[in-house]
Structure 1
Amino acid sequence: MEKELRHLFVTVFLWGTATFMVVPAITDVTVSALCPAGYQCSLAIYLTGFQQAITGVGAVVATPLVGNLSDKYGRKALLTVPLTLSILPFAILGYSRDTNFFYAYYVVKTLAAIVGDASVNCLALAYVADRVGELKRASAFAILGGVTSASFVFGTLASRFLSTALTFQVAALFSMSSVVYMRIFLEESLVVGGSVRRPMLKDSGTPCDDDEVISHNLDSSPPIFKTLPSLRDLIALLNSSPTFSKAAIAYFFNSLAEGGLQVSVLYYLKYRFEFSKNQFADLMLINGVGATLVQLLLMPILVAVIGEEKLLPICLFVASITTVVYSLSWAPWVPYALAVGTVFGALVRPIISSIVSKQAGPAEQGMVQGCFSGISSFANIIAPLMFTPLTALFLSEEAPFYFPGFSITCLGVSLMIAFIQSIWIQAVPSNAIREWQNQPA
């Protein structure tokens, strides 16, 4: 693996550790700040869902913009912005977790997440695609996913043994370290200002020939606000290949399920079994270790044996069945036992990212990954609007019938829709392979 990729992995690991370290604690902090009297707190659920929806609305615009800008100005320059913004929310709660400070955190975290959360992943995927050839790209994306899962494990483990105040302080330190390390060690992956290939879209947003070459000149670059891909650009991108359109639908419903789980599962476990920070950390630790091992060790083998297009529906089917059973949990040990099935859901994103990256040219990786991150962000708008009130209703005394996990069952249905769509994704020769096949003998 190239040295530059190792530096990227370290940067993502430090940032991910800071991000995931606060997850087990934030539910208790939110409930304590808003509803200190009891476990059932509809205000906390609604605020969490509202934050996720606002973040999704902003990210739908910000992520494609950041991805497109990175194709012009480089990945490293664009990575600096979200990594720097991520420091502020941790610093606020590291100082105090009183109600007023919580609201300050809430506002700053929402603004930082609009630019940060999806953009870091988008830029990291584009950086890997810049550095790795198509034949090894699925394994490289799996390693990146494994590094993210490893940061999840390390951050969750740290949260398990740190006090709440110290958790946010250490998270701020790790977040600052990611910025400093990236600026010192990470090298740019693009030759900015040179001639690059854009085989899929012209500047007007219409498909173009594979042999077209467009010269990028920084002196004549358009203003930043003109670099946002239009709706016509995104539609042209998705219509440029059947693989894109089918992968986009599967990606949307998978992201819808992931977004719904974020706003529902922790409150469901807190209501159903009175889980607290330590139980959340233990459960997340098991899931994180499993996801890390599956992505680093199992996914490269499975991709080589059965291929990405066949592995994707298998993972979605297992994740769907596991989610439905999760909603029926009858004892506190059931979520722990289901961890084996939930880890397969971690493979969906790197598989789809690898599939779509092979359909794009070297100067379009940021745009393509930004487009799919925008799809994920759009799903994160819809998910809290749908599942926040549904979760709050079925965890309250006004539920039409007793089924605390009803919203999680609906998330399993969303994954099943993604599974059905993924069946139709077929292997399509990538741009590089098509060019090789079209060469005269």
Structure 2
Amino acid sequence: MDNWKNLIHLFVAMFLSYFASLMVNPTIADVTLGAVCPGENECSLAIYLTGFQQAITGLGAVIMTPLIGNLSDVYGRKSLLTIPMILSVIPFTILAVKRTSEFFYIYYALKTITSMVCDGGIMCLSFGYLADNISEGKRVSAFGIYSGVVSAATVVGTLAARLLPTAQIFQVAAVSSAAAVVYMRIFLKDTTRDVEPLEEPILKPGNENTEAGDASLGNTECIKKLSLLKHIFRLLGSSFTFSLASFVAFFNSLAEAGVQAFLMYFLKARFHFNKDQFADIWLITYISATISNMVLMPVLGSLLGEEILLCIGLLAGFVNMLLDSIAWAPWVPYCSALLGLLLSLASPSIRCIISKQVGPYEQGIAQGCILGIAALANVASPLIFSPLSALFLSESSPFNFPGFSILCVGLAWFIAFVLSTMIKILPVLSRRRSQPCTLA
């Protein structure tokens, strides 16, 4: 049964949480430079610290996100969602107090550790909660609205970052992040799922004399039969659609990470853009994404289906990067940013396709698996695109094509597009699954 009231509470909590983290993003580079290399505009140590944090966070998320998703299938989404949301408050609070070198390094260490749990964990659990409350026929609309909420938080956070001084930005972020936790705990109801006969827990209590022993033995046998790694591999190989969607998710995330990390460097080298022009482009992109997810996806999802929307979004990503790579005037990137209206259809479509491939007790581990793959792509992206960007923006490039690395980012989207054309939605593999085993 669809429960949109629960989802509205989820959307409010997620808006507050993402608003906090996305408001900090435009400011953190200046804070890092000020703490690591005071008075300097360029600092290799700051770049290396940022890259190291991205790599460690991504590697940690590869492990932690599927684990969190698996545990939420057993213990409930709300209980597990509380953990990453509380952890996300801590780093903001550190910099809200002071931004000296000592406080920055404390922030850096805590942010690296907490991001392993928070970055993919919050989104994974939100997707699982969404799938628990919405029927398959309406999920594409719900996933689109969720992405629209995140895009709207990005727009509002970016505007707030331009208006507020640095000190207040971190204070507002800490308050907003804490408010998200409080709101979630008060208003969000944990998911309840109707259990069919064959979906009842494997571990049933026995008679009074053997209950404890049977439970202990059952848990031991359960752990022997199913570990997290085996569960992930079983999901990846459970259907051609799931496997294909996993590859699509990898290349889509590879391209997204490349855009976020390297497009600004290319535009600065090509047209000497400054931070205000970058902000304008991101605002165009995310306003377009908000309109797309909130309006277009709920309408087109029921008419075209998520498979077609996925193909449209990925093809738009390729065209976007193609135009940027050969941009002949400063206005071209502004126009190509409008393709965010279509590009933003891709990610929620992937989540919706994945949610329809598993039963009700595997939503957490399935979404966690896909987000773990996305985290792996975030680690691979700088390894691939950093050397290309540095080479083709330098004077020693093999040939005169400064936008070659941006074109390569677009090719990642094109590969994902080709793979997406082979995806066909199949019925859920099994509606009558046993409740998953815990890992502890």
Where structure 2 has 5 or more consecutive residues not aligned to the other structure, the ranges are 206-211, 434-440
Aligned to 1:369: 367
Q: Structure 1's 426 and 189: CA in aligned 2 closer, same or farther, altered over 3 A?
A: same
Aligned to 2:60: 58
Determine if the alignment matches structure 1 residue 134 to structure 2 residue 136: yes
What SS does the aligned partner of 1:363 have? helix
One-letter identity of the residue aligned with 2:90: L
1:71 touches 1:363 (CA, 8 Å); kept in 2?
yes
Q: Which deviates further from its counterpart, 14-23 or 279-288? A: 279-288
One-letter identity of the residue aligned with 2:251: F
- Among 54, 72, 75, the residue aligned to 1:73: 75
1:66 touches 1:119 (CA, 8 Å); kept in 2?
yes
Q: Deviation of residue 427 (structure 1)? A: 2.5
Q: Deviation of residue 264 (structure 1)? A: 1.9
1:85 touches 1:116 (CA, 8 Å); kept in 2?
yes
Q: Which deviates further from its counterpart, 60-69 or 42-51? A: 42-51
What SS does the aligned partner of 2:339 have? helix
Aligned to 2:307: 309
Q: Deviation of residue 274 (structure 1)? A: 4.8
Aligned to 1:114: 116
What SS does the aligned partner of 1:300 have? helix
Q: Deviation of residue 380 (structure 1)? A: 1.4
What SS does the aligned partner of 1:367 have? helix
Separation (CA, whole Å) in 2 of partners of 1:388 and 1:265: 11
Larger Rg: 2
- Among 413, 416, 421, the residue aligned to 2:414: 416
Aligned to 1:208: none
Q: In percent, how many aligned pairs have the same letter? A: 51
Q: Structure 1's 235 and 128: CA in aligned 2 closer, same or farther, altered over 3 A?
A: same
Q: Which deviates further from its counterpart, 413-422 or 375-384? A: 375-384
Separation (CA, whole Å) in 2 of partners of 1:394 and 1:406: 7
Q: Structure 1's 124 and 248: CA in aligned 2 closer, same or farther, altered over 3 A?
A: same
Separation (CA, whole Å) in 2 of partners of 1:285 and 1:411: 21
One-letter identity of the residue aligned with 1:214: P
What SS does the aligned partner of 1:384 have? helix
What SS does the aligned partner of 2:201 have? strand
- Among 7, 10, 13, the residue aligned to 1:8: 10
Residues 281-320 of structure 1: CA distance to partner in whole angstroms, max 9, x if unpaired? 3322221111011011111222222221122112101111
Aligned ranges 1:29-428 → 2 under 5 Å = 29-34=31-36, 41-190=43-192, 195=195, 213-215=200-202, 220=215, 222=219, 229-395=227-393, 399-400=397-398, 403-428=401-426
Separation (CA, whole Å) in 2 of partners of 1:393 and 1:167: 36
What SS does the aligned partner of 2:345 have? helix
Aligned to 2:437: none
Q: Structure 1's 43 and 195: CA in aligned 2 closer, same or farther, altered over 3 A?
A: same
Separation (CA, whole Å) in 1 of partners of 2:286 and 2:413: 20
Separation (CA, whole Å) in 1 of partners of 2:124 and 2:89: 19
Aligned to 2:438: none
2:85 touches 2:118 (CA, 8 Å); kept in 1?
yes
One-letter identity of the residue aligned with 1:340: L
Q: Deviation of residue 38 (structure 1)? A: 6.3
Separation (CA, whole Å) in 1 of partners of 2:148 and 2:233: 31
2:285 touches 2:339 (CA, 8 Å); kept in 1?
no
Separation (CA, whole Å) in 2 of partners of 1:164 and 1:329: 34
Where structure 1 has 5 or more consecutive residues not aligned to the other structure, the ranges are 198-210, 436-441
Separation (CA, whole Å) in 2 of partners of 1:304 and 1:151: 25
Separation (CA, whole Å) in 1 of partners of 2:55 and 2:20: 22
One-letter identity of the residue aligned with 1:406: F
One-letter identity of the residue aligned with 1:316: L
2:232 touches 2:365 (CA, 8 Å); kept in 1?
no
Separation (CA, whole Å) in 1 of partners of 2:94 and 2:401: 37
Q: Deviation of residue 105 (structure 1)? A: 2.4
Separation (CA, whole Å) in 2 of partners of 1:135 and 1:434: 19
1:196 touches 1:362 (CA, 8 Å); kept in 2?
no
Aligned to 1:201: none
Q: Deviation of residue 276 (structure 1)? A: 4.5
Residues 125-145 of structure 1: CA distance to partner in whole angstroms, max 9, x if unpaired? 100100011111111111111
